[in-house]
Amino acid sequence: MAKSVRASVSKRNKAKLRATVFGPVVDARTQRLSAKLQELASQPKPNAERSGMELDITKTNDHIDKVDANVSTSNEDMDIDRSSVKNAQAHSNKSGRIQKRHKKSRSSIVFQPRLAMFEDNDNITAVPKAFDKVIFMVVDALRSDFVYSNNSGFLFTQSLIRSGAALPFTAYASSPTVTMPRLKAMTTGSIPSFLDVILNIAESDTSSTLAYQDTWLTQLKARGGQLVMYGDDTWLKLFPGLFERQDGTTSFFVSDFSEVDNNVTRHVPKELLRDDWSAFIMHYLGLDHIGHKAGPQSPYMLAKQYEMDSVVSRIYTSMEKEKHLQSTVFVLCGDHGMNDAGNHGGSSVGETSPALLFISPKFQTLGSFRKSPINPLKDFQYYRTVEQTDITPTLAGLLGFPIPLNSFGVFIPEFLDLWESSLKKVHILLENSKQLLRAMREAFPSHNFEPDLNSSHCEIEPLLDIEVARCSWFQVLRLLPDSSGIGKEELYPELESALLRFLKVAQRVMSSAASNYNLRNLLLGLGLNAFVAALSLPAAYKLLSTSGYAGAFFALSIISYGGMMFASSYVEEEQQFWNWTFTAWVFYLHIKSAMHPHCSISSKHRLSKHHNLYAPVLTRYGAVALLVSHRVLRRWNQTGQKFAAEPDIARSFLPSQRLVLWSLVALTYAYTCMCLFAHRCHSRLWRLCCFIVTAAALILKLAFVASDFPELLYETVPIRSGGILDGGPLILFTRLVMGGIFSLIPVSMYFSKGQQRSLGKEDFPSTVFHEALTLFLITQSKATNIPIFLILRLHAHIISLMKLSVLELTITSLIVQYMTFFAFGGSNAISSVDLSNAYNGVGNYNIIPVGVLTFVSNWSGPIWWVSATRVLRSKQARHERQAYLAVITFHLATTLISVMAACTALRTHLFIWTVFSPKYLYAIAWAIFNHLTVNFVGEILFLLKANG
Ligand SMILES: [Zn+2]
């Protein structure tokens, strides 16, 4: 329902605004930028360029080439001399135009690759800087309450807040809340694109470098400062070659809680003794890793907070003691927060609310003593909430450099009192306003910021944000002193608040308008998918057209799914679609079996023989059993957006009923073990092997839980790992267990020599493979999700009793794959990616095993069903298998087309970053991993085996 609130008038206005101005903006922006550098914002006088500008709009979408071209010359621009700037601009502009004809559009980043400079470099009004150096300490995923709340471990930091030496804020971090985009926001002051989510994951990618863009780091560097950096190597990728000294740590090895941080802290003492740097950056990862692995309530969390607090204390003590650190501002911040599960990437309030503190003994003179710890005003909102992008202009003001060109930030007004003269305060805000006004004029060329035109309508309440911004700028102009720069002092307080008002609304306008997309690649992806769909269409059509109602059902589900992808709230709640589709499909199967009873009763029950007792009951009431167990499954993990916080089985019921949880877990393991027995029932040695492997897998699970989620074990299970299995031994044990699970397959082949004929070929070897895979998937699942496998087994058993046609089995397989993905807690939000099992048995960070394990632990439901339906399809003929493959490929291609089309069409939609682009990433993951790897390759192997 929050959706309807969000879809208010302002949203409609923004959409309209984008529709009318977005296209022109992109084209005209860079064209005018260089030429306008000099007159920007100084005075809004009518310019002759205007008419030329309208012409520019008709030009093609080639501004990006110019940005690329500018990169090559940007080093020259770093000179602060005005005249040389002019030349450099003219030069780069020219080279841009020449290259434009030859180069094709490539990059999609809209940043201005130049450095901002003061217009009046030698003007007397220039504000003296308050600090010379900055210590920038990022603690990854430092949610506001970790620092400010009553249960925080940041006791020393809290004492600094009380003494006035630290100014605390909650910094709003917009989605996507992953590290790389957040670092971009904190250093450039602008809002990055959703592409950065992919780049954040594809760690090896270096294309998203900020080395040539205008950031507070490049500004400091351009002023001859040296920069040093320790911690998350994302910084080194964003700013290659910028740091004098550096030591990067990789950010994806989340099971490492201490080493990543020790590697930063060991550099701190010696850096604090040196006085050659002007920026000392640290990025601690341990707290984020604890979040991913064990959640914000983990016992490790508080210990980590104490550790981080001790680093703060050490730095602050040095700042008081060391002479060369006396003019240093210390920024402590999180890049993003985390949700209740300890993950991030989405837009929930926990994820978007990191802490932000500016610390210096100098701030005590401001006399702003605050209470600490305190209770939040709203969820996770402590003290005043500022934008994360505000860090950039604030540092610019404090350290005395011009605000980076692409910044949408607002100087945090709490620091204005560092300057006594109100002229200087006004000057700082004015610089900020001019810079934002410049950005706004480029983004909205159709809007006029000249006061003499049509300013009378400001008396009636303007509707659009851009109009509000315009009117508040006129108000600033009215209060502004004349061109000499020195005016009536008594107006300054009023001017100050007028400037702040303008800054705030201008920031809102710019934040909602900032986006840029590479349309060509989006269309290329669409085309590729259309090709795949066309390839699989003939085979799929042949099957669909002859299958009556089932074919119609399939077509209808594809169409409705495609339509759904265009509505943000349906994308967020996709699990509902699959739950309802499953229910409808079960009804269809039930009705069909009632009409043709001879079809539904399988004379021979294929899965295993000891089920025969229940078979008649299940055959008759199968549909009912499916629906009832599906109800339970739906309740297992509440997912999506609307109901995500509601009580469910995995997060509310089972943790409080630990005996039930562990009984069910033990039952799941025992049942899997029995199924393994059943397939090679004649050999005692085989049984022993199965028992040992299953028992070892169960002990392994207990050891994992004991180390990561000990609260699930209290008083229930007597096993205390007591650290025996921590670290190296646990990794070794994990590898042994995984090796044991997969060696069951060759071992079973050995034992089955000679028995093969008596057992029938259909059982071999896919069922043993299926059981071993089940054991592996259980190991890769969260403890609270393990009992789901019992329900899945029930479903598979019922389905095996229904005699389904090829298409019906295919549709069933598809629906249950999607349905269980969501039942295991998956959603279309980045933040629901579960990393807690991604490092099982991995000693050193390596993208391939970690990637595979991440996929397996998040897609365990779908993978299980692919394997289970393969067992069900073991009797299919070759052409039936090909038809199966064609139908699922067709389904995937068409759904992918709808997702891509939705993302392309809605690329300016308000929720593109929070809803549509994550869905896009999930769709790609489904396509590449679940379809191409699991479904397709599995099926090809199957076909080959059947042939050979
Ligand atoms: Zn993280």
* Cα 542 versus chain centre, distance: 41
Model pLDDT for residues 555-564, shown as the tens digit of each residue: 899 999 988 8
> Which is more confident, 516 or 261?
261
For residue 306, the model assigns a pLDDT of 95
Q: How far is CA 793 from the centre of its chain?
A: 33
What residues form DSSP beta bridges with 170? 355, 385
Tokens representing 282? 């640290």
- Range among 56-65, 395-404, 699-708 with highest mean pLDDT value: 395-404
Residue 164 DSSP SS3 = coil
Pairing relationship of beta strands 355-359 and 166-172 according to DSSP bridges = antiparallel
- Residue 938 Cα to ligand 1 midpoint, Å, equals 32
* DSSP character at residue 179: H
Distance CA 293, CA 285 (A): 12
565 Cα to the center of ligand 1, angstroms: 27
CA of 567 to the centre of ligand 1 (A): 28
For residue 706, report the distance from its CA to the centre of ligand 1, in Å.
22
pLDDT at 475 over 60: yes
DSSP assignment string, 335-353:
S----TTS--SS--TTTT-
Residue linked to tokens 């939705």: 902
Q: Please tell me whether residue 716 adopts helix, strand or coil conformation.
A: coil
Q: What is the pLDDT of residue 73?
A: 36
pLDDT of residue 115: 61
Distance 344 CA to ligand 1 centre (A): 6
CA distances from 141 to 126, 177, 265, 657, 777 (A): 37, 9, 18, 30, 29
Residue 454 has pLDDT above 70, yes or no: no
The mean-pLDDT minimum among 258-267, 510-519, 581-590 falls in 510-519
Buried/exposed 723-758: b ≥16 CB within 10 Å, e otherwise = eebeeeebbebbeebbebbbebeebbeebbeeeeee
pLDDT of residue 643: 76
What lies within 8 Å, CB to CB, of 382 at 6+ separation is 144, 145, 147, 148, 149, 168, 170, 355, 374, 376
Distance 202 CA to ligand 1 centre (A): 14
pLDDT, average across residues 907-921: 73
Q: What single letter denotes the amino acid at residue 709?
A: F
Q: What is the 464 CA–ligand 1 centroid distance (Å)?
A: 37
Cα angle: 182, vertex 185, 189; to 5 degrees: 165
pLDDT over 90 percentage in the chain: 24
Sequence letter at residue 309: D
The conformation of residue 415, written as its DSSP 8-state character, comes to: G
Say what the pLDDT of residue 144 is: 94
Nearest alpha-carbon partner for 701 in 539, 836, 606: 836
pLDDT at 619: 66
Residue 157 predicted with pLDDT over 80? yes
Give the domain ranges of the chain: 2-102, 140-418, 575-884
Residue 393 has pLDDT above 90, yes or no: yes
Tell me the CA–centroid distance for residue 615 and ligand 1, in Å. Answer: 48
Q: At what angle do helices 519-545 and 878-905 cross, to 10 degrees?
A: 140
Residue 1: what pLDDT?
36
Q: What is the mean pLDDT of residues 112-134?
A: 65
Q: What spacing in Å lies between the alpha carbon of 247 and ligand 1's midpoint?
A: 20
- 122 pLDDT tier (thresholds 50, 70, 90): very low
According to the model, what pLDDT value does residue 478 have?
A: 77
- 353-357, 407-411, 836-840, range with greatest mean pLDDT: 353-357
- Ligand 1 center from residue 158 Cα (angstroms): 25
Residue 369, C-beta contacts closer than 8 angstroms, at least 6 positions apart: 162, 163, 164
- Work out the pLDDT band at 212, boundaries 50, 70, 90: low
H helical segments located in 154-298: 155-163, 179-188, 195-201, 216-222, 234-238, 259-265, 268-273, 286-294
∠ Cα 750 755 756 (to 5°)? 85
Distance 342 CA to ligand 1 centre (A): 8
Q: Please, which residues have CB less than 5 A from ligand 1, an ion? A: 288
- Report CA 652 to chain centroid distance, whole Å: 25
Sequence-distant (6+) residues with CB within 8 A of 851 are none
- For residue 444, the CA-to-ligand 1 centroid distance in Å is 36
Sheet-wide strand order for 227-232:
245-249, 227-232, 279-284, 133-139, 328-333, 355-359, 166-172, 384-387
Separation of 733 CA from ligand 1 center, angstroms?
26
Mean pLDDT over residues 275-281, rounded? 93
Ligand 1 center from residue 341 Cα (angstroms)? 11
| Residue 337, CA atoms < 13 Å, CB-side half-sphere | 29
Q: What is the pLDDT of residues 399-450, one digit of tens each?
A: 988 888 878 899 999 998 888 888 888 888 888 998 888 888 877 777 777 7
Banded model confidence at residue 126, pLDDT cuts 50, 70, 90: low
The Cα–Cα gap between 491 and 479 comes to 7
Q: What is the mean pLDDT of residues 836-852?
A: 79
CA of 724 to the centre of ligand 1 (A): 28
Following DSSP, what letter does each residue of 792-855 receive, concatenated? Answer: HHHHHHHHHHS---HHHHHHHHHHHHHHHHHHTT--SSGGG---TTTTTT--S--HHHHHHHHH
**pLDDT at residue 399, rounded to an integer:** 92
- Residue 384: predicted pLDDT: 92
Question: What is the H or E stretch that residue 600 is in?
Answer: helix 597-600
Q: Poorest-confidence range of 180-184, 225-229, 409-413?
A: 180-184
Half-sphere exposure of 449 (CA within 13 A, CB side): 28
For the stretch 586-608, what's the b/e string if a residue is b when 16 or more beta carbons lie within 10 angstroms of its beta carbon? Answer: bebbbebbeeeeeebeeeebbbe
Cα 831 to averaged position of ligand 1 atoms, centre (Å): 9
Dist. CA 679–CA 349, nearest whole Å: 50
- How many angstroms does the Cα of residue 206 sit away from the middle of ligand 1? 19
Q: Over the stretch 293-306, which tens digit does the pLDDT of each residue have?
A: 888 988 889 999 99
Residue scoring higher pLDDT (722 or 659)? 659
- Supply the pLDDT for residue 817: 92
Average pLDDT over residues 150-179: 91
> How far does residue 289's CA lie from ligand 1's centre (Å)?
6
Residue 340 CA to ligand 1 center (angstroms) comes to 13
- Residue 288 Cα to ligand 1 midpoint, Å, equals 5
CA of 781 to the centre of ligand 1 (A): 19
User: Does the domain spanning 140-418 belong to CATH 3.40.720.10?
Assistant: yes
Radius of gyration for the alpha carbons in the chain, expressed in angstroms and rounded: 31
| Per-residue confidence (pLDDT) for residue 749, from 0 to 100 | 75
Average pLDDT, the chain: 76
Do residues 254 and 431 lie in contact, with contact meaning Cβ atoms separated by under 8 Å?
no
644 CA from centroid of ligand 1 (Å)? 20
Q: Mind listing the pLDDT tens digit for each residue in 237-262? A: 888 888 999 988 876 565 678 888 99
DSSP 242-273: --SEEEEE-S--TT-SSHHHHHHHTTHHHHHH
CA of 871 to the centre of ligand 1 (A): 38
Query: How far is CA 561 from each of CA 4, 281, 574, 575, 818, rounded to the nearest angstrom?
Result: 22, 47, 9, 11, 12
Q: How far is the CA of 292 from the centre of ligand 1 (A)?
A: 6
Mean pLDDT is lowest, of 284-293, 335-344, 801-810, for 801-810
Task: Give 691 Cα–ligand 1 centroid separation in angstroms.
Answer: 38
Residue with tokens 């501002």: 329
Going from the Cα of 125 to the center of ligand 1, the distance in angstroms, rounded, reads 44
Asked whether residue 871 carries a pLDDT value surpassing 70, the answer given is yes
Does pLDDT of 747 surpass 50? Answer: yes
Which range, of 12-21, 275-284, 412-421, 814-823, averages the lowest pLDDT?
12-21
Q: Report the DSSP pairing between strands 328-333 and 355-359.
A: antiparallel
